[in-house]
Amino acid sequence: MSLLKVCIFLAAISLAVADIVDFKPCGDVDACTIHEVRIDPCPQASEHLACHIRRRRPAAMSFDFTTNFAAETLEAGLAWQKSATEDLPLITMDKQACKYTPCPTVANQRQTYTMDVPIESKFPLNPYTIKWTLKAPTGQVCCFTV
């Protein structure tokens, strides 16, 4: 079996065991539709509560989305939404979204973005909202918070 097939198989298994979490689209952005967001581990999701993710352990995060635009590449962003006007980006995150979802994107075609996010020891212990973005070179943005 090829390495690609093994990776696809493992990704499918991880999606099957991940917990579907509640999310909110960013109010000022509508360049895409977010269909479903999954985080593993997040046993609190079944009760519609915020995930309790432990520091120093990666969390598998994935989401299904459909863009309203075509793009050759996408830049990913993950930030702690400190307030309505201030985001603190996770600077260690790989911003090359095409490593985690197929590129180029095709308008009105559903696809999945999947990655392991390193939860570092320097993350604050407080509860906080996470903001995900995918941005095309032309400026269109997909965005949601969990």
- The architecture that CATH gives domain 3-145 is Sandwich (2.60)
Residues 6+ apart with CB under 8 A from 92: 118, 120
The H or E element spanning position 4 is: helix 3-17
**Tens digit of each residue's pLDDT (9 = 90 or more) over 89-132:** 887 889 999 999 999 999 999 999 999 987 777 666 677 788 99
pTM: 0.80
What six digits make up the tokens of 26?
A: 């960013």
- 87 touches 79 (CB < 8 A): yes
Residues 6+ apart with CB under 8 A from 3: none
With a cut of 50, say whether residue 11 has pLDDT above it. no
**Tens digit of each residue's pLDDT (9 = 90 or more) over 65-87:** 999 999 999 999 998 888 878 88
With a cut of 60, say whether residue 1 has pLDDT above it. no
Q: Where are the domains of the chain?
A: 3-145
**Tens digit of each residue's pLDDT (9 = 90 or more) over 18-59:** 799 999 999 877 799 999 999 998 889 899 888 877 777 778
**Tens digit of each residue's pLDDT (9 = 90 or more) over 120-140:** 776 666 777 889 999 999 999
Give pLDDT, residue 84.
79
7 — pLDDT class (breaks 50, 70, 90): very low
